Amino acid sequence: MMPPAAPVRVYRNVAEAVVATLAEIFDNQRVADRAVDYAFRTHPKWGSRDRSFFAEAVYEIVRWRRRLAWAAGRDDNWALLGAYLCRRGIGLPPWEEFAALEPDRVVSRLEDEGAPLAVRESVSDWLAAPPLPPEWVARWPAELAAQNGPAPVTLRVNTLKATVAEAAARLLAEGIGTDPVPGVPTALRLRERRPLARTVAYQSGLVEVQDAGSQLIAPALRVEPGMRIIDGCAGAGGKTLHLAALLKNQGQIHALDVGEERLAELRRRAARAGAKQIRTGLADEASRQQLAGWADRLLLDAPCTGTGTLRRQPDLKWRLTPEFAAEVAAVQRMILREYPAMLKPGGLLVYATCSLLPAEGEEMVRERLAAGDLELLEEHRVWTSETGFDGFYFALLRKE
């Protein structure tokens, strides 16, 4: 958890906004980023200190909800805020909501490393001990801890418009320092968090925000200029744009998704990136039939639990359940069963998920291989605890 802070004055209206925002996230299943943005819009007179305190408090309480509740002895949002203030070394205001909290006891329990794993790493019992291969059990605590750590801001350089060195120089000219990421040739990591949206480098399409682990997926597909490629689960197009850069604008890409809103965002991003060979369409049966046997390469970045990205979206872990995992597994099976029909015989496909769970990775692929029409060429597991990247699984398969 975060170290104690310098003395901070907590204002009642900001504290009430924290509690109300936590209720939106925990009770109404609102995404934390959107809930925080809404609070900022509804409190335009807050100064920078109030905004900073509010955002930090919300995100840290969401991330450490279970540990804070365990230390406070109860799970209501005022108690969570009080436990957070104790951990930060901020004195509790003399408010009725904090009257039952004993700061010394709260801090002692927060620092108790003998607490159960689910408490220490602030996850559900299910996520603390999901079905795992025996050889994974010993490493699981470290992976959960890594998902509670800081997430760096990583950029992918758009090689349609610039080299990595040119993009780094352009960013530095705008006051943004970066470092290369070993093992990921198109990646630049920001030395410190800075807003990017208004920079010339971003607006002109030289860089996109994309985690280093995510940047490993498109190259695994072994694309070559001139190929026909389908991105079957394109979303807003981060990996689609990477594929376009690898094609050097020579070839064709069909980007499919079930959501037209995401495809519209992909088209906007493609225009900014100068990716001219991308066509978009809905990922429905009609599209799959029309594209049957068309592609040299197929990317299936399937919907998943997102357990490899919890450090970026800690509110997600409070929405994850075994039932939800089963629902997305059914979608993954359908995608692996139906989508390879769009691939030519001998073509290659990559199946990927940003999940830590073997049921969505290794086990899902083994189940699909039983059909006998796909051959596994290689597979990879990206561990956040080892790489500092988001957690991923991806496999390269050949269609018989």
| Nearest residue to 328 via CA among 353, 308, 311, 310 | 353
What is residue 5's predicted lDDT score, i.e. its pLDDT? Answer: 47
Domains and CATH numbers, the chain: 12-115 (no CATH), 154-209 (3.30.70.1170), 214-399 (3.40.50.150)
Q: Helices (H), strands (E): how many in the chain?
A: 17, 11
Name the stretches of the chain with pLDDT < 50.
4-5
Q: Is the four-CA dihedral 214, 318, 9, 48 of positive or negative sign? A: positive
DSSP code for 316: G
**Cα 359 from chain centroid (whole Å):** 18
Angle between helices 32-42 and 12-26 (to 10 degrees): 150
pLDDT of 3: 52
pTM here? 0.93
DSSP structure string for 125-144: HHHHS-S--GGGGGGHHHHH
Residue type, 92: L
Q: Which region, left, alpha or beta, applies to residue 181 given φ > 0 means left and ψ of -120 to 50 means alpha?
A: beta
Cβ pair 213, 389 in contact under 8 A = yes
- Distance from C-alpha of 83 to C-alpha of 81, rounded to nearest angstrom: 5
The two structure tokens encoding residue 350: 């990559």
Of the listed 86, 233, 304, 354, which one is catalytic? 354
CA-based angle 116:18:84, to the nearest 5? 35
Placement of tokens 């189940």 in the chain: 367
Examine the residue annotation and report whether 233 is marked as an active-site residue of this protein.
no
What's the pLDDT at 365?
Answer: 98
C-alpha dist (Å) from residue 339 to 256, 278, 281, 334, 350? 11, 19, 14, 8, 12
